[in-house]
Amino acid sequence: MKKRGLWLFIIGSLLVSVATHFFFYQQWLDKHWMIGPNDGLSQIATFKKFIYENYKSGNFFYAWDFGLGGGFYSQLAYYFSTSLVFLLSSVVIFILDSFQWIDPSNVEFWAQSNLFISIIRLSVILFITSHTFRYMKIQAFPAFTGAVIYGCSVMYMRHVVYWEFFADAFIWLPLVVLGLEKLIREGKQSWLIFAMSATLISNFYFAYIQLIFLILYVLGRWVIPLTDNELPRIKQFKLLVTSGLVSFCISAVAFIPAVYGFFNNYRPPYDREIPLFDLIDNILFASPYIVLPVVFVLLIFTFPLYRNRLFRFFAVFSFVLLIFHLSPLAASAFNGFSAPQYRFEYLLSFTIGGCVAIGLQRLNKIAVRFICLASFISLCIYLLSIDYFDFNIKIPKRAATEFSAVMITVFVLFIMFIILMVLYVYFQKKVLLVTIQLFVILWSIVSVNTAAKYGITENGGLEKVTHHYLMSDQYNSAEQRNLIEQVKRQEPDSLSRIDWMTSMRYNTPIVQNFNGTSLYSSIANKALLWFYWRDLKVDTGHETVSRYGTLGNRANLHALLQTTYWMRKKSQEVNVPYGFKKFAESNKYVIYKSDFSLPFIRTGKNIYSEKQLQTASVLDREHAMLSGVVFEEEATRQKLDLIKEKNAIKQATIKGVGAKYQNNHLSVANDKGGIDIIPGSVQKSTKDFYIGFSIKNVNGDGFPIKVNKYRTTRKPAHSIYKTNINDLIIRVPAKDIISIRLPKGEYELKNLTLYEEDYKELHQAVQAADHSPSFTWEKNKLTIDYNNQTREKWMALPIPFEKGWKLWINGKEQAIEKANYAFIGFKLYNGENHIEMVYHPPYFFPALALTIIGLFAWAMLYLRSKRRESGHLNNQSVKMRSLLMKVDKSRD
């Protein structure tokens, strides 16, 4: 590309990108931020802040304040910890931060910056895509027009707003295509290796999607060759395999820990039937995923264009991806054969862009009658689409009005395109073709801004994402932060936790900079998830996957997990955990502090196994963890001498209140109905009840549950975020009656249990606990010096168990065991124990070695390619000189 043309593409890409974000720039000036109110604020901006702060401080792998503690490099690789776009932007932000020109220490900065990062990202996407199309011998202006259709799409803006890291895939796709084309046409591998490596490093999820695309693309290229001098397929295959292996090696240091994090997560299997086809949206007029440009619809029915191999290739590929869009089964396949998710449509935007680019370039070779035929077919399809969605899909009144406006606009656009195309084909004036292309670009910009206003902002809840909201009680108010800071100033233990989060914001501890008990991440440590869902059945107040939070107001767990403080709104300060006393308060909030705290490092002699406690109640399991340690393995464990608590449900009286309860079936007649459980003879020392039951709505609806003053919710059966675990344990202060209240409906309610807790074991554990041995914890390394004079058998830490930790005692590597269902424990020596624990992401060093090998192999392939080019040029020079000598001799 010549220098002048290069600058035209750069400037044009930047101008179009700025224009595409015009609506959000206006919003930004009014302090409305370009980020989703749910995952955008709960995850995207929050994790960017969290990772940046850790990387800035030189901590790259592990954080105690990541939920209950965890390896964030591995678990957040799905988001940003290995994202090249994020890392590059972080370098720029770090430089600006160093000069104190910006303040990235708060989540609002990252919400604000999303707009400007997106403008730059889209500019890069447009430039790279244009270059890719130019390489395919598409002229400059049509190539840029096709790039605009790809980049300035609804899917791009949707990804940027709701899940920003998804938008990075728009960069890597055209680079992968460029690399494939260079390999197929020239036998060059470097571009493909770079593109695939960048994709694998940045996000393993979209690497999977683009792997499917790559396979389909190569198969399509083998069926429809685009040039006459392509490499033989066998050689292409060999180079593809080599490139794939080198790319995998280069990316290994990021990709392998990320994939481990994915497999160490738990997501309930999606057990609903997935249909083969389903019309979920109207792709001709209004869709949150893909809206077919009018010019594309007209061009794909302009049949003479199919004589061109490049157009035929892109058109057929677009049809295949369109079929995939209409198939929930295909959407499931693109989502790892889980619940159908429509995140792959950016692939379709790319093929549509290529189709339009080559179609516009060859429009001058089409007769008017073919344009008229394409117009007639397209018109029929649009009319049939309106008819189908009018009679088969119910649209809300407001949306119906907006849909009518969109429909009229599309038809006006349709007529204008027909007129312009007919005029151009008939008169063959270049100015008309330029007008068509400008019109396509302008409409792409207008449609995205329109979708941003109505589809994303007004219907997606973005209007509430403002500076005022981010400073409010619903997210991160000054009153909340001041109370948290008061705790941090007065609490000498830097590892102490606070049980607090704003409503449904499980990542509040990251937002407000404190050690909390909650986390919301699509990739989480499954040991912790099972700890909450199955082993200890800790209710989080809301049934949902990918999240854990609070400790169910259970004092035993608070003591075991360093959670000394409990903070709530004053209007919600019910069910305060046992042993907590008021510590501080403000106008709206109150913090309680526990009288019962256990040291961070615990040692002891009593050892139990999970198998021994398999049939025990969760209260018995809590007591086992207080009096000893529970290891996963059964070998060499002592005989269980734990006194099991008695299930008092048989001595209780159960009666329906506004409901009938019989044979595990509960029929609630009104919204305040349910059952009352009247305990039998309650011990005077009983402080709390642990009430347990299994419940589900017979009709599959979601519903709230209220147990005395404690409230929790259950998701509907069809929700993809349902845990599929219906067993609950609710702790409530001991009273004469336990009231379970439900909305009107039919329920299956079974396995009722009732246990009394007097906290004798908690008192004993606190009294018997020694002071925590001296230790230092810096970044990913924990060092403990412990003189085991009392022949303690084990040491347990409230650090979540996960692969990546290594343990050395007195210089010898020792095994780490899973203790207390989800945490770390290990055996001790008598006498001095110098303990070192270091965390690195799983398989980090073997993966790093692979990365070094991959980079070396890439360099070797590049140098070999250069030598071949040089040799080829030398051969050409020799042949030319020989030819010139022959010519000279013939003249003589």
**pLDDT tens-place string over residues 405-463:** 777 888 888 899 899 999 999 999 999 999 999 999 999 999 999 889 988 988 888 99
Instruction: Look up residue 76 and give its DSSP letter.
Output: T
Q: Which amino acid is at 687?
A: K
Q: At what angle do helices 107-135 and 84-98 cross, to 10 degrees?
A: 130
Q: Which of 568, 570, 572, 573 is nearest to 587 (CA)?
A: 570
Indicate the Cα dihedral angle 127, 131, 133, 139, nearest 10°.
100
Residue 396 confidence (pLDDT): 46
Q: Which amino acid is at 806?
A: K
- Report how far residue 821's alpha carbon sits from residue 819's, in angstroms, rounded to the nearest whole number: 5
Q: Which of 455, 566, 355 is nearest to 36 (CA)?
A: 455
**DSSP β-ladder status, 563-569 and 497-499:** parallel
Q: Which of 807, 810, 816 is nearest to 831 (CA)?
A: 810
Enter the tokens of residue 411: 């038809």
- What average pLDDT is seen over the chain? 92
Which residues make Cβ contacts (< 8 Å) with residue 132, sequence separation at least 6?
Answer: 174, 175, 177, 178, 181
Residue 126 confidence (pLDDT): 98
Enter the tokens of residue 199: 């994709």
pLDDT tens digits along 10-30: 999 999 999 999 999 999 999
Enter the tokens of residue 595: 């009288």
Residue 633, number of CB atoms within 10 A of its CB: 12
For residue 886, report the phi and psi dihedrals to the nearest 5 degrees: -65, -40
Q: Which residues face 713 on adjacent strands?
A: 704
Residue 752 confidence (pLDDT): 97
- Report how far residue 285's alpha carbon sits from residue 347's, in angstroms, rounded to the nearest whole number: 19
Residue 875 confidence (pLDDT): 63
Enter the tokens of residue 394: 């119910």
Enter the tokens of residue 197: 């490596």
Query: Is-contact 374 298, C-beta < 8 A?
Result: yes
Given a cut of 50, the residues of the chain with pLDDT beneath it are: 391-397
Question: What is the strand order of the sheet 580-585 is part of?
Answer: 497-499, 563-569, 589-594, 580-585
Residue 414 confidence (pLDDT): 86
User: Which whole-number Å values give the CA distances from 461 to 36, 38, 151, 456, 502, in the listed order?
Assistant: 7, 9, 24, 7, 18
| pTM score | 0.93
Enter the tokens of residue 552: 């169910």
Burial group, residue 726, by CB count within 10 angstroms (0-12, 13-18, 19+): middle
Q: Which of 377, 384, 361, 365 is nearest to 301 (CA)?
A: 377
Residue 886 confidence (pLDDT): 62
User: Which whole-number Å values give the CA distances from 348 to 156, 317, 590, in the listed order?
Assistant: 12, 8, 53
Q: Which of 224, 198, 244, 215 is nearest to 136 (CA)?
A: 224
DSSP string computed for 780-849: TEEEEEEEETT---EEEEEEEP-BTEEEEETTEEE--EEETTTEEEEE--SEEEEEEEEE--TTHHHHHH
Write b or e for each residue in 331-366: b if 16 or more Cβ atoms lie within 10 A of its Cβ, otherwise e: bbbbbeebbbebbbbbbbbbbbbbbbbbbbbbbeeb
Tell me the three-class secondary structure of 852-890, residue by residue: HHHHHHHHHHHHHHHHHHHHHHHHHHHHHHHHHHHHHHH
Enter the tokens of residue 216: 């389909």
Q: Which of 827, 822, 830 is nearest to 625 (CA)?
A: 822
Q: Which amino acid is at 141?
A: F
Residue 394 confidence (pLDDT): 45
Residue 857 confidence (pLDDT): 94
Q: Which of 478, 495, 697, 459 is nearest to 597 (CA)?
A: 495
Residue 401 confidence (pLDDT): 57
Residue 879 confidence (pLDDT): 61
For residue 817, report the phi and psi dihedrals to the nearest 5 degrees: -110, 155
